[in-house]
Amino acid sequence: METTTEHKCPACGAPLHFDPNSQLLVCDYCGNKFTIAQVEAAEADQSEEAKEAAETQEAKPSEIAFDWGDYKANLSGEKLEGTKIFECKSCGASIETDATTMALTCPYCHNNTVLNEVATGGLKPNKIIPFKFTKDKLPGILRSFYWQKKLLPRNFFTANKVGEPIGVYVPFWLFDTKLSGDAVFSAKKTRSYTKGDYRYHETKHYDVNRSGSLSFKQVPVDASKKMDNELMDSLEPFNYSELVDFDNRYLAGYCADRFDRSPDEELPRAKDRMTRTAEKHFSKTISGYSDVKIKNCNYTTENPSVIYAMVPAYIFECNYEGKKYQYAVNGQTGKIVGELPIDKKKAKFWYWFMFLMTGGLTAFIMLLLQIIF
Of 80 and 210, the structure prediction assigns the larger pLDDT to 210
Mean pLDDT of 22-48: 83
In the 8-state DSSP scheme, what is residue 238?
A: P
Share of the chain above pLDDT 90, in %: 32
Q: What per-residue confidence (pLDDT) applies to 10?
A: 85
* Separation CA 331–CA 333 (nearest Å): 6
Cis peptide preceding 237, ω within 30 of 0: yes
CA-wise closest residue to 249 among 150, 75, 112, 120: 112
**Cβ–Cβ under 8 Å, residues 257 and 171:** yes
pLDDT, residue 2, reads: 47
The predicted-structure confidence for 203-255, as pLDDT tens digits, reads as follows 999 999 999 999 999 999 999 887 888 888 899 999 999 999 988 889 888 88
**Whose CA is closest to 277, among 215, 336, 191?**
215
The angle formed by the CA atoms of residues 254, 333 and 255, to the nearest 5 degrees, is 10
Q: Is 149 helix (H, G, I), strand (E, B) or coil?
A: coil
Rounded to an integer, what distance in angstroms lies between the CA atom of residue 18 and that of residue 5? 15
- How many other CB atoms sit within 10 Å of the CB of residue 52? 10
Query: Residue 28: what residue type?
Result: D
Q: Residue 95: which of 23, 3, 29 has the closest Cα?
A: 3
Q: Which H or E element spans position 55?
A: helix 48-59
pLDDT in tens, 307-344: 999 999 998 888 877 788 888 999 999 999 887 766 66
**CA-derived radius of gyration, the chain:** 28
**Rounded CA gap, 136 and 57, in Å?**
37
User: 115-140 b/e with 16+ CB inside 10 Å = b?
Assistant: bbbbbbebbbbbbbbbbbbbbeebee
Q: Please check the confidence at residue 256 and state whether its pLDDT lies above 70.
A: yes
